Chains A and B, each alone.
Chain A
Amino acid sequence: MNKSKIIISLLLLLVFIGRFIPSSFAQLADLSISPPLIEMAIKPGKVVLIAYTLHNFGDPTVITTKVLPFEPKDSNGNIKIKEEFEGPIRFSLDNNDIQLDKPFFLRTKTSQQLLLRMRVPEGAPAGDYYYTFISETQAPPSLDGNTSPRSKVAIGSNILITVTSDGNIEVKGRISKFNVIPHFTLPKIFNNLTIFDVGDKIPIILTLENTGNNLIKPYGNIIMKGSFGEIATYDLIPQNILAHSQRTILATPSAMIDCQDDKNMRLCKASNTLTLAGFFLGNYKLSTTINFGENTGILNASTSFLVFPVKLTIGLAIMFLILYLIFRKVRSTESET
Chain B
Amino acid sequence: MSHVSCCIYRSTFALIIFALLIWVNPHIAHADNLESTQYRIEFGNVNLGAKSQTSTSYNLDTTIGQTAFGQFDSTGYIIKAGFQYIHSIIPFRFSLSSTNINLGALSPNSPSTATTNLTVTFGGAGAYQVTGIEETPLQTQTGSQIPDTSCDTSCDETTAGQWISNSAYGFGYNMYGLDIPATFSSTDYYRRFPDRSAAESPALIMSNSNVGTGRTATMTFKANISSVQPGGSYQTIINFVATPSY
Contacts and interface: CB of A to CB of B under 8 A. Distances in A.
Interface in A35-58: 35-43, 45-51, 53, 55, 57-58
A231 interface: no
Interface string A153-187: 11111101000000000000000000000000000
Interface stretch (B26-34, B78-86, B155-163): B78-86
B102 A50 contact: no
Given A33-B92, A148-B101, A78 B207 contact: yes
Contacts of B221: 149
A130 B246 CA distance: 10
Given A26-B98, A35-B69, A153-B94, A158 B238 contact: no
Contact of A153 (B80, B96, B101): B96
B246 A158 contact: yes
Interface in B197-246: 201-202, 204, 207, 209-210, 221, 223, 233-246
Contacts of A143: 100, 102, 233
B91 interface: yes
B96 A29 contact: yes
Contact of B100 (A33, A53, A150, A259): A150
A39 B71 CA distance: 10
Contacts of A132: 243
Nearest to B98: A26
B38 A252 contact: yes
Contacts of B89: 34
B92 A34 contact: yes
B110 to A, nearest CB: 12
B95 A31 contact: yes
A51 B62 contact: yes
Interface in B88-113: 89, 91-106, 112
Contact of B95 (A30, A158, A252, A254): A30
B36 A253 contact: yes
A40 B58 CA distance: 14
B182 interface: yes
B245 A77 contact: yes
B24 to A, nearest CB: 26
B102 to A, nearest CB: 5
B244 A145 contact: no
Interface stretch (A14-22, A197-205, A264-272): A264-272
B195 interface: no
A38 B80 contact: yes
Interface in A280-322: none
Nearest to A262: B185
B204 A150 contact: no
A5 B50 CA distance: 55
Contacts of B93: 30-33, 55, 57, 155
B79 A142 contact: no
A81 interface: yes
Contacts of A63: none
A144 B38 contact: no
Contacts of B121: 32
B39 interface: yes
Given A142-B235, A250-B38, A158 B76 contact: no
A160 B60 CA distance: 18
Contact count band on A: 35 or more
Contacts of B201: 80
Contacts of A153: 94-96, 99, 240, 242
Contacts of A79: 129, 243, 245-246
B97 A156 contact: no
Most buried by A among B104, B146, B209, B242: B209
A33 to B, nearest CB: 6
B137 to A, nearest CB: 10
B77 A43 contact: yes
A120 B221 CA distance: 44
A12 interface: no
Nearest to A257: B210
Contact of A156 (B36, B84, B101, B242): B242
Given A39-B80, A49-B60, A77-B126, A158 B243 contact: yes
Contacts of A1: none
Given A79-B129, A252-B38, A46 B95 contact: no
B242 A77 contact: no
B244 A156 contact: yes
Interface of B: 36-39, 53, 57-58, 60, 62, 68-69, 76-85, 89, 91-106, 112, 116, 121-122, 124-127, 129, 131, 134, 138, 146, 171, 178, 182, 185, 201-202, 204, 207, 209-210, 221, 223, 233-246
6 A-B pairs closest in CB distance: A30-B95, A32-B93, A34-B91, A156-B243, A77-B245, A42-B77
Interface of A: 26-43, 45-51, 53, 55, 57-58, 70, 72-73, 76-81, 130, 132, 134, 136-137, 139-140, 142-158, 160, 237-240, 242, 248, 250, 252-256, 259-260, 262, 265, 268-269, 271
Given A36-B124, A37-B125, A151-B101, 9 more contacts: A35-B81, A36-B91, A77-B209, A79-B246, A146-B102, A151-B237, A152-B237, A239-B126, A260-B178
